[in-house]
Structure 1
Amino acid sequence: MKTIKIIIERNEDGFWGYAENEKAIVGGGDTVQECKQDILDCIETLKELNGDNKPGFLDKEYELLYKFDTASLLNYYKGIFTNSALERITGINQKQIQHYASGHRNPRLEQRLKIENALHNLGKELLAVEL
């Protein structure tokens, strides 16, 4: 199965997404959700092409993997994770997280990995929960 890596970045007009490893897949919107939907709409449009114009990956199984810049990720999940909650799971203080979310500061690689690993560990923990 092919993995299509979609990069989502924040810009002055909203959010922009594009495939890192496939041509012609792009999308945008005022929110991350709108951007993701626009990317899905773009893929549906590509499916309607015929012959040599249709990208080869569409004839096989594929999955989309979303890669965010830090500001986009923090803004996308701000209704789910408070800065206080992120501080608890990452060990990064709330003021610094707010700087990352606003785009005033970009985290170093070490800080990005702290955030990413904390979210992945939380996901694993949640997958192990039964009610």
Structure 2
Amino acid sequence: MAQEVIRVFVEKADDGTYWGSTQNLPGGVTAYGNSLEELKESFTSAFNDYLEIAEDLDEDWIDEVKSIERVEYVMNIPSLFKLLPELKISSIAKKAGINESLMRQYASGKANASEERAKIIENAIHELGQELISVSL
């Protein structure tokens, strides 16, 4: 099972609730919250409970899972724009060098981006994040 990261797949329900679940841990861990931040806090609590129960049951994989230090929150393109409506689709399209109409199709789920295209979009969003982090007010 050697892994370096816990992947939490995030979705936003129609009622506004954020859901996250792992698929790369034995048994899995699921959590929810009313915001992305609350989901992360809820996941941390659920993960700690998960570890405690695994230790009580003397699970043979516990040491390997306890050694994982990084949690990555993963979402698909439609979920990203649903989770973060502040992101302007046209701006991300421009930054990624993608046709705005095609980007809207990706954002709505009407079209699926290739793995390569999704990586380009991810890089554009990360670049925007770095630009925002560098701002002082």
Whether these two folds match at TM > 0.5 is yes
Instruction: Provide Cα deviations, 1:92-123, integer angstroms capped at 9, x if missing partner.
Output: 23332222222121112232122111112222
- Quick one: distance in 2 between partners of 1:57 and 1:113? 29
User: What is the Cα deviation at residue 71 of structure 1?
Assistant: 1.3
- Mapped pair 1:97 → 2:99: no
Aligned to 1:125: 131
- The structure 1 residue matched to 2:21, chosen from 18, 36, 58, is 18
User: What is the Cα deviation at residue 41 of structure 1?
Assistant: 3.9
- Mapped pair 1:52 → 2:52: no
User: What is the Cα deviation at residue 69 of structure 1?
Assistant: 1.4
- Mapped pair 1:39 → 2:39: no
Indicate if the aligned counterparts of 1:19 and 1:25 stay in contact, CA closer than 8 A. yes
Structure 2 spans left out of the alignment, 5+ residues? none
- Quick one: distance in 2 between partners of 1:62 and 1:106? 31
Q: Across the two proteins, how many residue pairs are aligned to each other?
A: 130
| 1:100 counterpart SS class | helix
| 1:52 counterpart SS class | coil
- Quick one: distance in 2 between partners of 1:32 and 1:8? 11
- The TM-score, its normalising length taken from structure 2, stands at 0.68
Indicate if the aligned counterparts of 2:89 and 2:107 stay in contact, CA closer than 8 A. no
- Mapped pair 1:63 → 2:70: yes
Indicate if the aligned counterparts of 1:27 and 1:36 stay in contact, CA closer than 8 A. no
- The TM-score, its normalising length taken from structure 1, stands at 0.70
- The structure 2 residue matched to 1:87, chosen from 70, 82, 93, is 93
Letter of the structure 2 residue corresponding to residue 8 of structure 1:
V
User: What is the Cα deviation at residue 12 of structure 1?
Assistant: 8.6
Indicate if the aligned counterparts of 2:94 and 2:100 stay in contact, CA closer than 8 A. no
When structure 1 is superposed on structure 2, of 21-30 and 82-91 the one drifting more is 21-30
Aligned to 2:5: 3
Structure 1 spans left out of the alignment, 5+ residues? none
